[in-house]
Amino acid sequence: MQGRFGIGFVDSDVERDIILSNNDFTRAKINHNDKVYSGYLETGYDIKNGNGDFVVTPFVGLTHDTVVRGSFSEEKSQFGLTADKKNYNQTAALLGLRVGKAVNWNGGSKTTFQGYVTHQRAFNDQDLSFDARYTGLPGATFKVKGIGLSKNKTWVGVGALTEVNSGFGWYVNYDGSIDSGKGKGNNNVFTTGIRINF
């Protein structure tokens, strides 16, 4: 079993044009400070071959994310938006499979080739909508439609980690996701780097 918890701090500056007529517009500016809390818990079982250099790991997990969006008020226009602080929450279950194969080279280094597939399903439908009002008309409250968050997401990935010695290694990874439902779309992420152990 393993888990992790993280917190992030976001400082956002946003500018948008408010068009009042063909020749009349104002540029509204806002700043808001946000926090992101993320937690993950996972359990699985390693199935190894006789040499221990090939491992298949089925696993299940639970993840929860909370975004605390700070309050903001657009300036320089009576039609700017004002909104109070709001929290967004999403909890999801995961089911996945990892495969790893270690290869020992003659020089003493070792490369571990890895691959995985994970499907994530959220327990609730969530989007980033919020209630707002015009800066110049504080009594008129309305809902601003926000981007939808995907309820179903599938991740696949492959990578390789080469440990040159006990203190140094390098890696290269590819991760891709396919989303369905609200906020659907595809993501492709390539990462590479080095590891230094002290």
Digit-coded pLDDT (tens) for 156-188:
999 999 999 888 999 999 999 888 755 556 889
In this structure, the number of other CB atoms found within 10 A of the CB of residue 30 comes to: 19
pLDDT at 139: 77
Q: Residue 20's domain spans which residues?
A: 2-196
pLDDT attached to residue 150: 81
pLDDT surpasses 60 at 106: yes
- For the chain, what is the mean pLDDT? 89
Mind listing the pLDDT tens digit for each residue in 63-78?
999 999 988 888 777 7
Which among 46, 50, 51, 61 is positioned nearest to 99, based on CA atoms?
A: 46
Instruction: Indicate if the pLDDT at residue 152 is higher than 80.
Output: yes
Four-point Cα dihedral 3, 193, 58, 2, nearest 10: -10
pTM: 0.73
Q: What mean pLDDT comes out for the span 96-110? A: 92
- Residue 47 sits in a domain whose CATH number is 2.40.128.130
Q: Could you give the number of structural domains in the chain?
A: 1
Environment class of 176 (CB within 10 Å of its CB; exposed 0-12, middle 13-18, buried 19+): middle
Q: In the 8-state DSSP scheme, what is residue 127? A: B
pLDDT digits (tens, 9 = 90+) for 112-122: 999 999 999 99
Residues 155, 168: Cα–Cα separation, whole Å = 28
Task: Summarize the confidence of residues 27-44 as an average pLDDT.
Answer: 91
pLDDT for 49 equals 92
Q: Which residues, 6 or more positions from 80, have their beta carbon under 8 angstroms from its beta carbon? A: 18, 28, 30, 73, 74, 134, 135, 136
